[in-house]
A and B are shown apart, each in its own frame.
Chain A
Amino acid sequence: MKIVTGNDLKTGAVVWWTGVDWSIHVEDAVDAGEQAEDIATREEAARRVNAPYVIEGEKTAEGVRPAHIKDRIRALGPTVRPDLTLKPADPTAGNWVI
C-alpha cells in the first residue's frame, strides 16, 4: 500500500493521511494508491503539513505497518524512550518496529 506521511506544521508531530485528514496514529493511514503523489503535492500546497511524502507499507492484522525502519520508528517514537512513544503504557507496543 502507498501511505502519505509528513510532519504537522505546528507541532512537528508525525502524521499520516487518513483519506480525509491527517492523524498521528499510523493505524489510521489509508492506501492512497495512485493518488498518493497528488495528495502529497496538494497537501504541501495547503501548508498544514511539512514536506509530505509517499512510502510503502502494508496492512496487517495488527494494523498498518510502514515498510522501512525509519518510518516505523516515526510511527511509534524513539525506541530508547518508550515513555515518550504514542503508547507509553504498553511495553509491547514497539515490538513490531525493529
Chain B
Amino acid sequence: MYKYDQYDQAMVDARVAEFRDQVRRRLEGKLSEDQFKPLRLMNGLYLQLHAYMLRVAVPYGTLNSRQMRALADIAEKYDRGYGHFTTRQNIQYNWIKLEDAGDILADLAAVEMHAIQTSGNCIRNISSDHFAGATADELVDPRPYAELLRQWSSFHPEFLALPRKFKIAVIASEADRAAMKLHDIGIRIVKNDAGELGAAFYVGGGMGRTPMIAPCIREFVPLDQLVTYAEACLRVYNRHGRRDNKFKARIKILVHELGADEYTRQVEEEFAHLLDQGIEPPRAELERIKTFFADPAFETDLPEDIDRSDPEFALWVDRNCVAHKAPGYVSAVISLKPVGGIPGDASAEQMRLIADLAKRYSFDELRVMHTQNIVLPHVRKADLHALWSALDEAGLAAPNLDQVDDIIACPGLDYCSLANARSIPVAQQISERFAANGKGKILGELKLKISGCINACGHHHAGHIGILGVDRKGVENYQLLLGGSEADDTSLGKITGPGFDEAGIVDAVEKATDVYLARRQDGERFLDTYRRIGMEPFKEALYG
C-alpha cells in the first residue's frame, strides 16, 4: 500500500501543528465558535449530539495492521473503547474531547493517517472497490488512480471552498462495488477497442434529498489525462454550482439543471483549455505510486480444497469469502453486523484482533467496505478455518455478507445532530427478527439500508429495501422504499406509501420479504422479483 513520502508527511505534520494551535486559541476564548467551526470541520471534527465526533480518512478503504492498531489505541485512549466504520470507508469516533484533538491527529500522523478533508465543502476521501487488487474481474488495480486523485485533491487551493462537499469513487471492473454512479464523480477504468486503458467519467450522481444516478459524460479519457479531466469537471462545478442554496448546491443539481449535454460541453471546453496548461502530474509520479500497489508475494501451488465438515464454517465460507485472482486465495469479509449488534461498530479489542489477523493471514492488509464491514483481501484457503475460529471467538464471524442482516445503518438520532429518527435500533430489531424466524437463512441476497434523515448517509435510496427515518410531529416515523441498487444495475428505490412507527417498520420489512418468498422464481434475488412483479403486490401486502 501507499507510503507517505517526505512531502506527504510534512504536509500532514504541518496541519497537525496548525490545528493544535487553532484548538488552543479556541479553548482560550480567542476564537468564537463561528470562527472555529470551519477550521475544525476541515480537520474532520464535528459537534454531534453528545460530544465532538472525529472522522478519520481511510483512503480508498485501505489500511495496514499498524494503522488499525493505532485506530484501536485512539478508541481506547481518547474515546470510549470503540469506533464506527462508515459508509464512505472511513472511521468515526463519537466521544472526542476538543482538548485531545491535537494529540489524536498527531497519533494518526505517526501512522500516515489524518482527518483532513473529511468534512467541509471540499473533495472528500476518495473511495474505491474494497476488493481492489484482489478480485479477478478488474482491468487493473484502481487504487493507484485513487491515490493520484487523493494527492491532487489534498489541499487543492481552488477546490477547498466548493459550493458543497464533493465525493469521488474509482473502480476498475464491470461489477460496481463502490456505488460509483451515486457519487459526484464516478470513475470507471475501462479498455477501448484498441486495448488502451482509459477512464469513463460519470458525473452528477448522489443520494441525499435529491437522489440522482450519474450520467456518463465521457466514455474514455486517456489515463494520462485523468487528473486534467477531473479538474475540468470541478472547475465547471465551482464556477456555476448553486452557492445561493445549500439544498441545490451539489453538482448533481447543476448537471440536472444545465442538462448533461451542456454540462459536458462546458467541461470539454475547459478540458481543452487545461490540456494546454500542463497540469497533469508527470507519468513518473503515477509509476511511483503504482509500485506501492504491486501484488504481494502470493504463493503458488496452494491447495484449493476447503474442509467443509463443520457446517457453521462452511456457511461462513460460502457467504463471506469471495473469489480471488490468485489460485489458492480468497478475500474474506469480517462482518461487523452480529445479530442485534450496531452496524459498523468495532471495539478496540476487535480492531486489534482484526489487525493481528491481517498481519498473520492477509499480507498485513485490510480494507474497509462502504457497507461497514472489513475485508482481509488475500487469505490462503488453507488458513480459512483458523481465521474463522479466531473471528468466531470474538463475535466477528456472522455469515451474512449481502444478507438481510448485513444492514447499512447511519448513526441516526442516537448520535447524529442532523438525524430525525434512530436507525440503529431498527437495524437491530430487523436482524433479530430474521434470526428468530429463520427467514434470514432462505432470503438470499438482500441489501437493506437505513438512513435516519434525508441526507441518506445510510444509502436508503440504494437498498433493495430502504428505510428512511423522518420526524412526524416529534415522533419517529419510517418510510419504506423498494427496488434500489448501488451495484452496476444502479437504481433508486421507490417509496411504498405511508410510513410506519418503529415496530411497524420491522413488520413491514417482513411482509415485503414474504411477498418475495411467495412470488420468487428460480434464482431470483429480492431485487429481481421486485423488478419483475412491480410495486403493487408489495403495496397490497403492506396496506391492503
Contacts and interface: CB of A to CB of B under 8 A. Distances in A.
A11 B80 CA distance: 13
Interface string A41-65: 0001001001100000000000000
Nearest to A45: B32
Given A44-B33, A47-B33, A67 B415 contact: no
Contacts of A7: 47, 51
B422 A79 contact: yes
A89 interface: no
B27 interface: yes
B50 A80 contact: no
B190 to A, nearest CB: 43
- Select the residue from B49, B413, B424 with max chain A CB neighbours within 10 A: B49
Contacts of B97: 10-12
B414 A80 contact: yes
Given A9-B98, A70-B413, A79-B414, A47 B32 contact: yes
B425 A11 contact: no
Contacts of B219: none
B37 to A, nearest CB: 9
Contacts of B52: 12
B414 A10 contact: no
Contacts of A14: 49-50
A68 interface: yes
A92 B244 CA distance: 47
A80 B47 CA distance: 19
Dominant secondary structure of chain B at its interface with chain A: mixed
Interface in B156-215: none
A26 to B, nearest CB: 13
A82 to B, nearest CB: 11
A5 B261 CA distance: 50
A18 B428 CA distance: 36
B112 interface: no
A32 B213 CA distance: 49
Contacts of A50: 33, 47
Given A67-B474, A68-B474, A80-B342, A74 B33 contact: no
A84 B474 CA distance: 24
Interface in B215-256: none
B80 A84 contact: yes
Nearest to B99: A10
A81 B415 CA distance: 11
Interface in B71-108: 80, 95-99
13 contacts: A11-B98, A13-B51, A14-B50, A68-B474, A69-B413, A69-B474, A70-B49, A73-B49, A74-B50, A79-B414, A80-B342, A80-B414, A81-B342
Given A11-B97, A80-B342, A80-B414, 10 more contacts: A7-B51, A9-B27, A12-B96, A12-B98, A13-B50, A44-B33, A47-B32, A77-B50, A78-B50, A78-B415
Interface of B: 26-27, 29, 32-33, 47-52, 80, 95-99, 342, 413-415, 419, 422, 424-425, 428, 471, 474-476
